[in-house]
Amino acid sequence: MSKASNALLLLASLGLGCDPREEPQPPPVEQPPAEDKSLRVRSVRYFHTASGVEERPEDFSANPMELFLLQDGNFIAHPGAQTSPGEYVFADVPDGTYYLKRGNSYVVTSARRVDRSYRVLGRADAQELPASTFPIKARLDIDGLEPWAEEEGGMWGSMQFVSGELDVMGTIDAYDVIPPGSTSVRGELVSYSSISAARPYRFEQTRGDRAWVNQIVPRVAGALEDGSPLRYGSLARSLYLAPFSFDGSQPLPVSGTFQELPLKQLSLNWALSSFALNAADVHPAATLNNALFSLCPAAHGVEDVGWVGFSGELFSFSLPIGYAKDVRDTFTYGNPFPSTWDAVARFEAPFGVEYSVPGADTPLTVFAIMDVYERASSLAAGPLQPLILPPRGLKLDGEDAYQARPLALGSHVISWQPPASGQVSAYSLRLRRYAVDENSRARIMDAVSFILGGQSTSVRLPPDVLKPASHYVFQLTAISTPGYSAEDTSSAYRLPTGQAHTLSGLLSTP
């Protein structure tokens, strides 16, 4: 026997050789990765300026997310944690509907990826002024105004203050210091009121922070169908302030010469009657209030992400209460803003519903709206009609929800039918809580909101949402916005967008 044969025998005795009786073994099967059962929530703030967009991931530490699983009618808490800046993860989430909560807001969905990002104007490092700086004053040293108009028909002159570098838009309350016919103001100290934010921001000259001061003047477009003049406020002249600093310790410096602006025109064809015809879907007792229109500058354009922030108005008007006729007229206005900005038309039809609140001396009026936001360049396509109508057939535990009724504490089911017209992107349910104060007036205390998918027709309320000894009005909103959904609210700014409310009766807890 050869040495090679002896070696093979030795290997076989040790079990290391090849046994001709063994079947060839196939390669191991590669196992598919385990299904990802996690729920990942993303939240990023996008700050928009002329130089671009800056991202700041949300820090959840001060206001963490909560998750509740709906299982057999019960709400079961499920733990989660922030895993990285701007991301919150809940592992091993079973299939089915869940309630994602942050603060007083819920998202009701079964999706595994949720984006709660949002967009704002201004620099990411902008600093809000402390509350100690209030009230804010502005010192006026200006000329070149269009002769100041006295009040007529509810319209008067005004000034708007708008920044392109910061999320700042407000009004300069100069009507008490400018006599009718005047074109200048010297050294007057007046009030400044912030509109875009709860508190204004610090201006830094070294960062190039500037602002437009725009004069709004009363105009008359034509006549309404009842013969009354159609009055509107129009941007006529503007002062573009050089970069300046402002920290609230001194009055806001407003100095310079206003410049007359070339006039633009916009022809409007608003089918307001098509909004008013749907009042009964808002609530059986709803009545049209004063419809509003405004043409607004859209900072840095709307092409990529839609309309972000509020930068004042180019022109606007408010119709008489209850006026429900169509509006067809041409309006003129000036526009001092860069060509990179756009213009957005806002159509709003508000409806009022009066409620008798036990213990209150006067009725409570709650307003619901139907509105449309559209690019001004798209208005020539035809009459402006509602993009979406209100949800219908609102019910509470299967019963009519439009009537006043007692409401037991605990869980309830809200249901509805889809709107008669329009593509629903999502629904928003808002539980508005009221109480009677020491002056015997009903006032809103707080609200809890739910965002639901566009195919939803019902939602169960968590058992701890309703508070004792309270009065509620439930507001259900149908939302129509391209790309918007309960799972992705980052597209809330895309155009065209519209919403329509329906209101419940007064629901009172023991």
Query: From residue 208, how far is each of 114, 123, 250, 297, 298 by CA, in Å?
Result: 37, 11, 19, 21, 20
Distance CA 294, CA 373 (A): 10
Whether 86 and 197 map to the same domain: the answer is no
Task: Give the pair of three-digit tokens for residue 411.
Answer: 């869980």
Lookup: tokens for 416: 């509805």
> Can you give the pLDDT at residue 33?
56
Q: What is the count of structural domains for the chain? A: 2
Last residue of a domain, one of 116, 137, 168: 116
List the domain range (segments joined by +) for residue 81: 39-116
* Judgement on whether residues 85 and 109 belong to the same structural domain of the protein: yes
324: CB partners within 8 A, 6+ apart: 272, 273, 275, 276, 288, 291
Q: Based on the fold, state whether residues 143 and 195 are members of the same structural domain.
A: yes
Residue 94 and residue 167 in one domain? no
Q: Identify whether 161 is part of a domain.
A: yes
Position 304 scores a pLDDT of 84
Of 447, 498, 443, whose CA–CA distance to 474 is shortest?
447
CB atoms within 10 A of CB 494: 18
Query: Would 60 be classed as within a structural domain?
Result: yes
DSSP symbol at 205: G
Task: Say what the pLDDT of residue 100 is.
Answer: 98
Q: Of 116, 141, 164, which residue is a domain's last?
A: 116
Per the CB < 8 A criterion, the answer to whether 379 and 271 are in contact is: no
**Angle subtended at Cα 447 by Cα 446 and Cα 451, rounded to the nearest 5 degrees:** 160
Residues 93 and 158 in one domain: no
Domain limit, last residue, from 228, 261, 294: 261
Task: Kindly state the DSSP code that residue 32 receives in the 8-state scheme.
Answer: P
For residue 5, what pLDDT is reported?
40
Tens digit of pLDDT at every position of the chain (510 positions)? 444 344 333 333 333 343 434 444 445 545 445 578 999 999 999 999 999 999 999 999 989 999 999 888 889 999 999 999 999 999 999 999 999 999 999 999 999 999 999 999 999 999 999 988 889 999 999 999 999 998 887 788 999 999 999 999 999 999 889 999 999 999 999 999 999 877 789 999 999 999 999 999 999 999 999 999 999 999 999 999 999 999 999 999 999 999 999 999 999 999 999 999 999 999 999 999 999 999 999 999 998 889 999 999 999 999 999 999 999 999 999 999 999 999 999 999 999 999 999 999 999 999 999 999 999 999 988 899 999 999 999 999 999 999 999 999 999 999 999 999 999 999 999 999 999 999 999 999 999 999 999 999 999 999 999 999 999 999 999 999 999 999 999 988 899 999 999 999 999 999
For the entire predicted model, the pTM comes to 0.90
Residue 200: the pLDDT is: 84
Q: Are 293 and 327 in contact (CB under 8 A)?
A: yes
